[in-house]
Homo-oligomer: A and B are copies of this chain.
């Protein structure tokens, strides 16, 4: 059972370790954290905490390090969140409004801001419709008489483009007409229906346009765009002092591998912030990592904001900042509509 005093000590161990990255000794807690018991008492309590699995030992004569369970307990019940101060809020919103207009720049900027605020790697995914994969609108632009550029606007506001060769040359006006006709038949169509429609159409060029659209819709369903920043900052943390570990970290934070980390929050509601610590992560090779993750948006479209870093992470700072940025993004997304 975690008595009040042991809980206090566990909290102090976590805080001290997060700050210094050194194993925490009983003496350090008494001296630097103002515990009013002796170091011997702390040692006894630490031994209990270790028995119960909250902290560990790198070796006999070293201080204590929180275990995943220790961090989990800390996050769940010991930690006091450090609110995002008024100044910091102002700075963040100010930075965020620098690029209003282009969604992709905005997302990449958000990753940069969040990474800066928490000193770790930040990941932001582009908002996607939950139902994602329907066409909102298509356009045809003449590039030359034999080729049209097909531009598909998807229901989440993203664009996809493809070149379509034309058997029969067409002018821009003709393409416009054709696009209008197709839009009428393909309102909010999904990939499968578009593919079915393509087979019914007699006109070769029109069929190939519809087929290309179907492909674009299907491609689009699977694609998740992620924006990442803060890698080189995060690598300065002492856990990566060893070149092998650093190399591992770089290799593992390639965008396409992040997907599995972010999946854990696919079912989270906007407003909810999740923390996944060390061994709680499904990926075996990420046992030293934690992820703080939130969804933003609403039923129409939602994306993910996350911070990824070593388990030794300032959770009390990171969690409210991820939550704050997620709520800001939700708001901005609503404003955009």
Chain B nearest CB, measured from A157 CB (Å): 7
Is residue A182 contacting chain B, with contact meaning CB distance below 8 A?
no
The answer on a CB contact under 8 Å between B153 and A141 is yes
Chain B nearest CB, measured from A189 CB (Å): 15
Contact of A139 among B101, B151, B235, B251 (CB under 8 A): B151
Nearest-neighbor residue (CB-CB) of A142 within chain B:
B137
The digit string for A56-84, where 1 denotes a CB below 8 A from any CB of B, is: 00000000000000000000000000000
Q: List 12 A-B contacts (CB under 8 A).
A: A103-B161, A136-B143, A139-B151, A143-B337, A151-B153, A151-B159, A163-B336, A232-B250, A232-B251, A235-B250, A243-B246, A246-B246
What B residues does A160 contact at CB under 8 A?
A: 102
The digit string for A225-239, where 1 denotes a CB below 8 A from any CB of B, is: 000000110011000
Q: Which of A127-173 contact B (CB under 8 A)?
A: 136-137, 139, 141-144, 147, 149, 151, 153, 157, 159-163, 172
| A250 to B243 CA separation, bound complex (whole angstroms) | 12
Besides A102-B160, A159-B161, A163-B336, 5 other A-B contacts (C-beta < 8 A): A102-B161, A137-B141, A139-B139, A144-B337, A246-B246
| A108 to B271 CA separation, bound complex (whole angstroms) | 34
Chain B nearest CB, measured from A274 CB (Å): 28
Chain B nearest CB, measured from A171 CB (Å): 12
Is residue A254 contacting chain B, with contact meaning CB distance below 8 A?
yes
The digit string for A11-40, where 1 denotes a CB below 8 A from any CB of B, is: 000000000000000000000000000000
The answer on a CB contact under 8 Å between B141 and A136 is yes
What B residues does A143 contact at CB under 8 A?
A: 136, 157, 337
A247-B247 contact, Cβ under 8 Å, with A101-B163, A163-B101, A180-B176: no
The 4 closest A-B pairs by CB, nearest first: A232-B251, A137-B141, A139-B139, A232-B250
Q: Interface extent on A, as a size class? A: 35 or more
The answer on a CB contact under 8 Å between B247 and A232 is yes
| A101 to B231 CA separation, bound complex (whole angstroms) | 31
| A254 to B337 CA separation, bound complex (whole angstroms) | 33
What B residues does A139 contact at CB under 8 A?
A: 139, 141, 151
| A230 to B337 CA separation, bound complex (whole angstroms) | 39
Nearest-neighbor residue (CB-CB) of A103 within chain B:
B161
Chain B nearest CB, measured from A112 CB (Å): 11
| A270 to B156 CA separation, bound complex (whole angstroms) | 39
Contact of A243 among B101, B159, B242 (CB under 8 A): B242
Chain B nearest CB, measured from A315 CB (Å): 25
Is residue A219 contacting chain B, with contact meaning CB distance below 8 A?
yes
What B residues does A136 contact at CB under 8 A?
A: 141, 143
A254-B232 contact, Cβ under 8 Å, with A151-B153, A159-B161, A163-B101: yes
Nearest-neighbor residue (CB-CB) of A243 within chain B:
B243
Chain B nearest CB, measured from A297 CB (Å): 16
| A188 to B93 CA separation, bound complex (whole angstroms) | 37
